[in-house]
Amino acid sequence: MYVELQLRFLILLTTIQCIQCSDLLKGPLVNSNAGLIRGLQASDGDYSMFLGIPYAKVNESNPFGVSIPQERFEEIYEANNDSLMLCPQYKKSSNTTVGNINCLYLNVYVPNVASLQNRLPVMIWIHGGAFMTGSGRKLTYGPKFLVKQNIILVTINYRLGPYGFMCLDIPEVPGNQGMKDQLLALRWVKNNIEAFGGDVNKITAFGESAGAMSVDLHILSVHDIIFNKVIMQSGTALASTILVKPDKLAPIKIAKFLGFKTESVPEALNFLVTTDPNLIIAAVNSLDMLFKPCVETKFSNVEPFILKSWINANPKRVRGMPILLGFNNKERLYEYVTKPAEYFDNLHVIHDKLVQTFTFNESKLTKMENIIHHFYMGDRKISIKVRDEIGDFDSDYTYIHPIQKSIRHYIKNSPKNIFYYMFSYSGKRNFNKVTLNVTEGGAFHGDEIGYLFDASFLPEDNQEDLVIVEQMTTMWTNFAKYGDPTPATSEPLPVKWTPLTKNKWYYLNIDSELAMGSRPLNERMAFWDLFYETNKKEQKGYDRNSEI
């Protein structure tokens, strides 16, 4: 491997004594712009792992503010553990708070064939979790399926919840700190990945849910674009879950919950800076607070991330860029499939979603709610009997139609190609369904992750599942290599994936058999096209002065 040649050259240059030579040979060593980094040889494939590389540091005096780039390593950095890649968050399954504030690390996975003479495409994964939970750790996002396809995989961490997305419109906490963490990680990759055998001219940013929304927000942001291609799985910046108005009084409310009463945001922040992050996360959970990306106010000497609403923003920077994106056919059914009958008695999901997104008065809100109810459920009342229809409404409203709206925005700005998909496969590696212990048909939100990554809790004993793994990883990595998921048909990929056009909305249905189609869920999408066209100016965040 090329790192061994680097090692020999380094030994000659520095006349390292024999005892030091043997120490350096303990694992693959890379001489990067960030310094010397030593990793591990993987035991489950022909690749090296560089785990838990710090790319930035949280400012101890202001952990809610912008982080600081990691300085160059003075000694060899031992990248052999990613246990610190867990930012403060609430873990619903165990009803506990976990993580540590110093969590800005990334993992790099390098196939052994990578070298200075054989540079490989780079794929940077941004994890999902509603901007409140998740991590880029190997435990969840194991690399062996993807690196087998001869790409370098990087998984990154970023701050979450109040630490990553508190937006206060003050220079100390302007907002989008977690997005700026991601940007520092992307820049680190750009500056260092050549030393690992990566091709800086072939960088694909990809993510799922909040990770996909993040990718889209990077396109719409004011900063430099690091990547050449994008993959967005079940999310764009238009997803309804991201449309949360920032709470400028959040520090006061959290501090009050923890016993410190003040009406001053700076005083509350000073208190929270010295408070255990676990207590803050627990308070946020108890108060049912949400923190999301926001439109920032511009301040001098503060690098902004995004300064305008993205609701009808013009994504000009997709010009000439290959795009791959899509959704799962039963995205939000997971929210309802395990609920008992009584849960539906007081469910007002249509009303709640509309209030979240629109500024309707009461009369119009009732009218719009009835129209939507009748479209999905006819004259039937909301009950467990229409659970699937409720799931369809929520899926369309939250993820699927927003993705379609984003596609229209992209088309107007002439990307190189747009490859559209619907993931419908139901197997034993469906990420969310296995977690919920559900066997319903179709694919829930996040279910495709198990066919791209080696999550530690998913089985590998089903041959049909492994076929989907082979197909998904081949298409995704082909896209990273060539900008085309199926440059040629083959045994694992017998179907040519045709990109959509302005007038022909082709998509690939990923199921037990791959199949091309046109305009997925067409009737439901047409309904929402008309709904948004009729009510677009009543959307929250809509800028009448910047219509596309």
Phi-psi map region of 100: left, alpha, beta (phi>0 left; psi -120 to 50 alpha): beta
Q: How many Å separate Cα 214 from the centre of its chain?
A: 6
Q: How many Å separate Cα 199 from the centre of its chain?
A: 22
Question: Within 396-548, where are the H helices?
Answer: 401-411, 431-436, 463-482, 522-535
CB 19: neighbour CB atoms within 10 A? 7
Nearest to 162, CA basis, from 150, 175, 149: 175
Which H, E and C letters describe 384-413, residue by residue? HHHHHHHHHHHHHHHHHHHHHHHHHHHHCC
The CA distance from 261 to 249, in Å, is 12
Strands 506-510 and 417-423: parallel
Interior angle at CA 328, CA 326 and CA 331, nearest 5: 125
Per 3-state DSSP, the chain is made up of helix, strand and coil in percentages (nearest 5) of 40, 15, 45
Per the CB < 8 A criterion, the answer to whether 135 and 104 are in contact is no
Tokens of 22: 């043997």
Interior angle at CA 395, CA 391 and CA 397, nearest 5: 120
Selecting among 209, 214, 424, 426, the annotated active-site residue is: 209
Backbone angles phi, psi at 421, to 5 degrees: -140, 160
Helix, strand, or coil here: 240?
helix
The CA distance from 371 to 376, in Å, is 9
The CA distance from 272 to 286, in Å, is 16
Active site residue 48: no
DSSP element (H, E) containing 91 = strand 89-91
The CA distance from 425 to 334, in Å, is 15
The CA distance from 259 to 254, in Å, is 9
The CA distance from 234 to 236, in Å, is 7
The CA distance from 440 to 433, in Å, is 8
Whole-number Cα distances in Å, 279 to 66, 68, 132: 21, 24, 15
Strands 105-111 and 47-54: antiparallel
Per the CB < 8 A criterion, the answer to whether 186 and 193 are in contact is no
Q: Would you please indicate which residues are annotated as catalytic (active-site) residues? A: 209
